[in-house]
Amino acid sequence: MVGMNWFYSHGLIFPHLLLSGEALCQEYSLALDWGRGHVRAFAWHPQTPKFAVASHGDLVRVYAPNVGIVPLLKHKSQRNITDMAWKPYCSSLLAVACQDGVVLWQLDPMPLIGRPSSAHASLLSRRGHQPVTSVAWHPKGSLLASASPADSSMLIWNVSTEECVPLCRLAGGGVCLLRWSPDGAHLLAAAPQSLFRVWDTQFWRCDRWSTFQGRCQAACWSPDGAQLLCAFSNSPALYAVSFPKPLNPCLGDEEEDSAWIPHSSAGSGSGLPVVDLAEVTLSALSGHPGNIKVGGTVQNMAWDKHGERLAVSFRDHGQYVALFCTRTYPMLEVSPCGFISGPHGEHAQLLSFYNGFEGGSLLTVCWSNGVVSHVPLYYCPLSQEPTEKSFAASPFPLQRIIGSPLYSS
């Protein structure tokens, strides 16, 4: 084990460990152009109509309706911000992932000053757990998970005591992305290498998936926690992993690698390609010179709380955000809906849905020039009584449809 740790620490097994802290932030942040874009992180509060925006200068601004003062959050340890998350069922606690760890801000719901002092902030840090590139709260707000691509341990924090429990797995070379399922039963932990794990949070055991498509670049859960959508750095496609039953507590500490099985007989926990996102060229509308290229490898994606709208942004063609209509019951269905375009020449940095929007979904898109767009998508969710239904989306049709396997078994 000592020899393995020496190879690990010197980057001989995982070359990304030779990168500087800032380079790790650039590589594993969800923002499209983290180094030069105006927005580095964005977070809607899951229950309260407020959101936080982190700018290039590592300043965090908090916006809320009917509040005249916009708090400006700045801390000496708040360098190279990569991610943010509000604590559920608590309107005032914001976790900011950055170079030195996780900065926790305790904010006044009705601020009277525009620049809260550093006394309102505390730093969660652990040696070797820098930089932190992803944070995720348990849906009930009881625990906070943090991840660093330079640390083989994912940390589970009790923020009230500022104590953590490390969950260590050497394979993969660290953890760069976390996503907690809405029911709290599973926690996705994606590694910088071509594998990811899904933890059973009742027994804290995990399943591991190895892929040939690169690392897990983006992921999101269905509202019931039964479906996990993943996108990989080297594959222009979306994959779905189903979790119809809890992970088996009788299995060993870590199960054998699960396989990607791209055919209809795939069982529980297998990965299926559900959307082919290969690059296509579309005819431009009047006023748009030349043709439009869309698709390719995914940069980011977001799924609304109803499980009926999915937004996807792309690494190489970030001018447009693709919209999909989705359904999770009785089986997962994904169909193209349209596109959203932003300011001319700008690219989508980050995506997020607001949970409190009535009459459909509200998508927020952060663009590379610092513009934050709120795009209402009006429709009647299937969980509600049928009413008049309309869609707000671009008229461009997606030309590559669903279910095309990317490789043969």
pLDDT in the model for residue 169: 86
The pLDDT-based confidence of 265 (bands split at 50, 70, 90) is very low
Looking at residue 138, its pLDDT comes to 97
Q: For residue range 101-126, what is the model confidence (pLDDT) as tens digits?
A: 999 999 987 766 677 878 889 999 99
More confident site: 10 or 362: 362
The more confident residue out of 114 and 264 is 114
> CA of 257: how far to CAs of 49, 58, 270, in Å?
41, 39, 11
Tens digits of residue pLDDT in 58-98: 999 999 988 778 899 999 999 999 999 999 999 899 999 99
Q: Would you say residue 351 has pLDDT above 90?
A: yes
Q: How much is the pLDDT for 409?
A: 21
- Please, what is the average pLDDT of the chain? 83
In the structure encoding, which two tokens stand for residue 349, read together?
A: 């940095």
pTM of the model: 0.84
pLDDT tens-place string over residues 138-193: 999 999 999 999 999 999 999 999 999 999 987 778 999 999 999 999 999 999 98
* pLDDT for res 285: 60
**Residue 365: C-alpha distances to residues 57, 149, 152, 237, 321 (Å):** 20, 26, 32, 21, 9
pLDDT at 17: 76
Percentage of the residues of the chain whose pLDDT score is greater than 70: 81
**Alpha helices by DSSP H, 272-394:** none
Q: Which CATH number fits domain 1-210: 3.30.1360.70, 2.130.10.10, 1.10.357.10, 2.40.50.180?
A: 2.130.10.10
In the chain, where the domains are located:
1-210, 276-409
Q: What are the tokens at 33?
A: 């152009």
- Distance, in Å, from the CA atom of 391 to the CA atom of 363, rounded to the nearest integer, reads 13
In angstroms, the CA 380 to CA 399 distance is 25
Q: Kindly tell me if the per-residue pLDDT of 402 is higher than 80.
A: no
- Tell whether the model's pLDDT for residue 379 goes beyond 80: yes
Q: Categorize the per-residue pLDDT at 388 as very low, low, confident or very high, splitting at 50, 70 and 90.
A: very low
Three-state SS string over 185-197 comes to CEEEEECCCCEEE
The H-or-E segment that residue 6 falls in is helix 2-9
The pLDDT tens digits for 11-59 are 556 777 778 879 999 999 999 999 999 999 999 999 999 999 999 899 9
**CA 386, 391, 397, 403: dihedral to nearest 10 degrees?**
-40
Residues 6+ apart with CB under 8 A from 177: 28, 30, 133, 134, 147, 188, 189, 190, 196, 216, 217, 218, 219
pLDDT at 78: 96
Residue 399 has pLDDT above 50, yes or no: no
Residue with structure tokens 């060229």? 281
Q: What is the pLDDT of residues 322-344, one digit of tens each?
A: 999 999 988 899 999 999 998 98
- With a CB cutoff of 8 Å and minimum separation 6, the contacts of 6 are none
Amino acid symbol at 64: A
Distance separating alpha carbons of residues 136 and 232, to the nearest angstrom: 20
pLDDT digits (tens, 9 = 90+) for 276-326: 999 998 876 655 667 888 999 999 999 999 999 999 999 999 999 999 999
Rounded to an integer, what distance in angstroms lies between the CA atom of residue 292 and that of residue 394? 13
| Residue 214, both tokens | 């690169």
Give me the amino acid identity at 155: L
pLDDT at position 291, please?
A: 80
Report the distance separating Cα 72 and Cα 131, nearest Å: 23
